[in-house]
Amino acid sequence: MKRLFLCAAMLVGAMCADAQTKDGGIDSDMLSRIRQGYVASLEQKAIKNALASNSIATLAINSENLTMCDTHFSHRVETKGITDQKSSGRCWLFTGLNVLRAKMITKHNLPSFEFSQNYCSFYDLLEKSNLFLQAIIDTRDLPLDDRKVDWLLRNPIGDGGQFTGVSNLIMKYGVVPKSVMPETYQSNNTSQMATILKLKLREWALELRELKPAKAKERKEAMLTETYRILVECLGVPPTEFEWARYDKSGNLVSKKSYTPKSFYDEFVGEDLEKNYVMIMNDPSREYGKVYEIEYDRHVYDGENWLYINLPIERVKEMAIASIKDNTAMYFSCDVGKFIDRTKGTLDLANLDYSSLFRTDFPMDKKQRIQTYASGSSHAMTLIAVDLDEEGKPKKWMVENSWGAASGYQGNLIMTDEWFNEYMFRVVVEKQYVPADVLKMLEQKPILLPAWDPMFSPEE
């Protein structure tokens, strides 16, 4: 009798557990009701047939917005030439160097010019390797499943980044003309090189976690020596001295001198990139008027974490317009994949009509998209133009992209002001264009955000 009672109790318990396990699942009755959502109407059949052999982006094209927008801009920064990052994630670097390139061409009356992205990429990857290895040493007492250690091992290195990489790397290593250190296959196609570097760094991470501090420091240097060799074999030897001939717009030789990368930068650019620029963010999911810092979001271990001021979109526009009016381009980043027409080269909320295609609304605003991982900054470009109406309000904007001259509108992308509001996230502005009340915000103690915050994945 006792055994019978025990078996019955176990059966009841199992049934309860089963009921609890299934609660919230899709049972047969629910599935039957769900299936009624598709009744094979003529409309549903037509759309199903179309989706079977066409991309969603193609079918969502808004036929009422096919014409090219007006390409006139009331204010435009003088720039020359379009760069191409090829199959790499270096948009942040191309953008930062394009900002400096525009200044250099104007300042020194050059016919054209391009900095070597490969030279900066070399030291970027070397510095990121050191950043990772030293972070592993710093966190060796934490368990492997600690959130910070886990994030480091998931993200040992990559060629994406942001503006602090531009400023810290150039101030430390200088720059060289592209002719001095041109691109290689690996610099233009970085995925396989990155795979090799990640594999080595993760292997070394496990080793460093087992070493005492003095030995770890010694081994880290040996690891970086091996990293340097791999980078040289992939990207070439970064020059420490070179000769460069400067010509004016008429083709006349102005000078021919020897330079180091630092002396070249000092002579032809000469700005303190670490002190002269402010990163401005529009992130409505966080409090405005505050300064934020991103842990480990830097390229150089002894450099600066990403620091930005969060402001309403109208304040961002105010500074961007002031910079463009003064013929000064800006580092700009956004969620470039949203509502893009690559053929026309436009970013316009009216380009694609997903609601009509799927007969449902997509009502989330910018704040909600950020909070739910539906949107975030993915790509950096150079903000070069704005079209203002009679009242001085922006109607559209233009960025110089780094996808080659054949992409978009003559290598550029034109965005409506409405798109700018929804999918623009940050600009980097010279301090001379930043109002005093905004500069004063930099006196705040920054709010530290974790490296894994969804808004701060590297721009590629």
Q: What confidence score (pLDDT) does residue 306 get?
A: 87
**Residue entry with tokens 């200088």:** 174
Write out pLDDT tens, residues 328-376: 999 999 999 999 999 999 999 999 999 999 999 999 999 999 999 999 9
Q: What confidence score (pLDDT) does residue 453 get?
A: 85
Q: Give all domains of the chain, ordered by start, each with its CATH number.
A: 75-456 (3.90.70.10)
**149-185 residues labelled b (16+ CB within 10 A) or e (exposed):** bebbbebbbbbbbbbbbbbbbbbbbbbbbbebbebee
In this predicted structure, the answer to whether residue 13 has a pLDDT above a threshold of 60 is: no
Q: What confidence score (pLDDT) does residue 457 get?
A: 79
**Catalytic residue, candidates 118, 282, 310, 401:** 401
**Catalytic residue, candidates 91, 120, 234, 334:** 91
Write out pLDDT tens, residues 169-203: 999 999 999 999 999 999 999 999 999 999 999 99
Closest C-alpha to 96, from 271, 248, 242, 247: 271
Average pLDDT rounded to a whole number, residues 428-455: 95
- The rounded Cα 453 to chain-centroid distance in angstroms is 14
Eight-state DSSP code of residue 48: H
Name the E strands within 191-319.
242-247, 253-259, 277-281, 290-294, 306-310
Write out pLDDT tens, residues 147-170: 999 999 999 999 999 999 999 999
In this predicted structure, the answer to whether residue 46 has a pLDDT above a threshold of 90 is: yes
Closest C-alpha to 278, from 95, 94, 442: 442
Write out pLDDT tens, residues 228-258: 999 999 999 999 999 999 999 889 999 999 9
> What is the C-alpha to C-alpha distance for residues 456 and 454, in angstroms, rounded to an integer?
6
Average pLDDT rounded to a whole number, residues 294-321: 95
Q: What percent of the chain is predicted at pLDDT more than 90? A: 91
188 is catalytic: no
In this predicted structure, the answer to whether residue 5 has a pLDDT above a threshold of 90 is: no
**Catalytic residue, candidates 118, 130, 379, 412:** 379
401 is catalytic: yes
β-strand pairing of 379-388 with 75-76 = antiparallel
pTM listed for this prediction: 0.93
Rounded to the nearest integer, the mean pLDDT of the chain is 94
Q: How confident is the model at residue 455 (pLDDT cuts 50, 70, 90)?
A: confident
The alpha carbons of the chain give a radius of gyration, in whole angstroms, of 27
Q: How confident is the model at residue 454 (pLDDT cuts 50, 70, 90)?
A: confident
Q: What confidence score (pLDDT) does residue 22 get?
A: 63
CB 107 within 8 A of CB 138: no
7 is catalytic: no
Average pLDDT rounded to a whole number, residues 288-293: 97
